[in-house]
Copies of this chain bind each other. A is one copy, B any other.
């Protein structure tokens, strides 16, 4: 089945039958235009620490309860009714098929970390039910049936048919990489083949409408070696069908598809679509090396990180159209910040990291993961944020179900796939991308076995002990990522500090002959800092955010004893350090930060909305402000919260 690509730069386990065992979250071993090669999820064990708690709740609570929700809301019945096993009417919006696919993908990633026979059986049952609904042609969609049958592929700008196929393929690949079982994969390929036979420049015109299929097709190409999948992804990205499909200007913006991806100069439109399109374009570049894609991706990335990304790694300012705003349009209370968009941001930066090997992409990945993604799932694992605002006067932001329930299974697949993001390899050695107690059991690209163990209390503590154990002594490089926020990092090997100072936002290369039990000691600079936004972000004027390590902090009303309203408080004494303390019983254990502040003596809400600027000072009284990590907010009932806190202007240097 596999086509061996000439000039592929390595020869790992090979292209044999059980190649699925070595394929990562994305599989870049044979991608000609990447710097980094991924490591399979199964090669990394996340051990007791920060992420293990999240991953455990994900497997034990989130994934099981989500399946119940999906079944209760008829998402599975939608398939059963097509084979007469259910008499219920079709339920939910046009895109519900994707929700069960995304759930299967999440479960597939769980199985990549170790077999769970019950979960496997559930997927096999769902696979039966899904494939039973597939038509002989390969077409598979529960919405475009009966009276809507004639509309198949006629309203791609809204139909989500290709989006659902993309998620079907990603689910099938995840399960295949977990088990080697190709049933769902073969079903997905039948649908993809039908699509490719029917659509194209000389056939009927296609549009992804909601980009997603592009990256799925490239991954299918990576999995099967069949070039047609890559080519069709290229066709979708080429955006040549605008005229044949009569797409409007507004659709071009909103859909982030329909015109050549390489003609894009900035992010706009629907945030998740924009992120997923960029994932697909990066995957396509990784295989083709098309320079126009690389230039576009770099331009878009700069637009995102310089103009349009929340400090949490969230993306999407506007509720209207769930869309990205203009440059510097980053409202806080009104932030949309859909969980899926932050996930898309992480997925995209993961791909950019693979292509470039540059730590700036890992920085964005980490920012999104610890903050804008992590906030999306409650500590209980059963409630989800769809929006992730940076300020709130109190609202029911976490819910167990949404009629558009894209975010919950998306969060689940992200947490389940997490081990696959920690490490990568290149011909020169191994990359450490993320930090947590973990154990890698893999090999260098020359085949030499390699174990790496991390011991740390990261992200609460900046010390990480990394033990490197090659199967035999060998010269290679360990690239330890130095996050951009760590202004003074110390790295020692076997107790000896390197003369070179680790630069923030770079990988620190340690090249030497490594032998068993060699020890790297890393100390990151975890000083809690006040961060200010570019003054062009008007919503953050006169305010600072607090960040400690990768964590963005916030004020939540539950922690401010004696404070009337959160929004009457400000930070003072900006040059004083924060006091910090790990509170094991608070929010499953967090480092809490405290700082001096002040609170207005007369509540602001008693003042008029507008008044002439008067020369009388508004009296403040001192108050201590307590900060918790942003991701942990809204886990103690209704509360008010803010990330960007007003700061005493007289003490702030502009």
Contact = CB atoms under 8 A, between A and B. Distances in A.
A311 interface: yes
B329 A325 contact: no
Contact of A646 (B325, B332, B535): B535
A611 interface: yes
A306 B652 contact: no
Contacts of A543: 538, 541
A654 B333 CA distance: 23
Interface in A287-340: 305-307, 309, 311, 317-320, 325-327, 329, 331-334
A613 interface: yes
A67 to B, nearest CB: 28
B538 A326 contact: no
A534 interface: yes
Nearest to A306: B609
A605 interface: yes
A542 interface: yes
Give the number of times this chain occurs in the complex, counting copies: 2
Interface stretch (A28-36, A137-145, A438-446, A525-533): A525-533
A539 interface: yes
A309 B646 contact: no
Given A307-B609, A531-B610, A533-B609, A332 B538 contact: yes
Contacts of A311: 610
A496 interface: no
Contacts of A146: none
Contact of A612 (B529, B608, B613): B529
Nearest to A615: B653
A331 B654 contact: no
A252 to B, nearest CB: 17
A11 interface: no
A615 B575 CA distance: 9
B607 A534 contact: yes
B537 A539 contact: no
A161 interface: no
A391 B612 contact: no
Interface in A535-565: 535-539, 541-545
Contacts of A537: 609
Contact of A539 (B529, B532, B539, B609): B539
A198 interface: no
Contact of A654 (B391, B541, B574, B649): B649
A195 B596 CA distance: 64
A298 B340 CA distance: 43
Contacts of A393: 326-327
A183 B513 CA distance: 99
| Residue of A306, A307, A617 most packed against chain B (CB within 10 A) | A306
A542 B541 contact: yes
A618 interface: yes
A171 to B, nearest CB: 32
B574 A613 contact: yes
B608 A306 contact: yes
A649 B654 CA distance: 9
A327 B395 CA distance: 13
Given A332-B538, A538-B391, A531 B654 contact: no
Contacts of A653: 613-617
A536 B613 contact: no
Interface in A568-596: 568, 574-575
Nearest to A391: B538
Nearest to A309: B609
Given A535-B567, A535-B604, A536-B567, 8 more contacts: A306-B609, A487-B612, A531-B610, A535-B600, A536-B604, A538-B644, A614-B653, A649-B654
26 contacts: A305-B609, A306-B609, A307-B609, A318-B319, A318-B334, A326-B393, A329-B333, A329-B334, A331-B334, A334-B334, A391-B538, A530-B612, A531-B611, A532-B613, A534-B608, A535-B568, A535-B600, A536-B567, A537-B609, A538-B644, A541-B543, A541-B646, A544-B613, A545-B610, A618-B654, A649-B652
**5 closest pairs, A vs B, by CB?**
A542-B542, A649-B649, A319-B320, A530-B613, A320-B320
Interface of A: 305-307, 309, 311, 317-320, 325-327, 329, 331-334, 391, 393, 487, 529-539, 541-545, 567-568, 574-575, 600, 604-605, 607-618, 644, 646-647, 649-650, 652-654
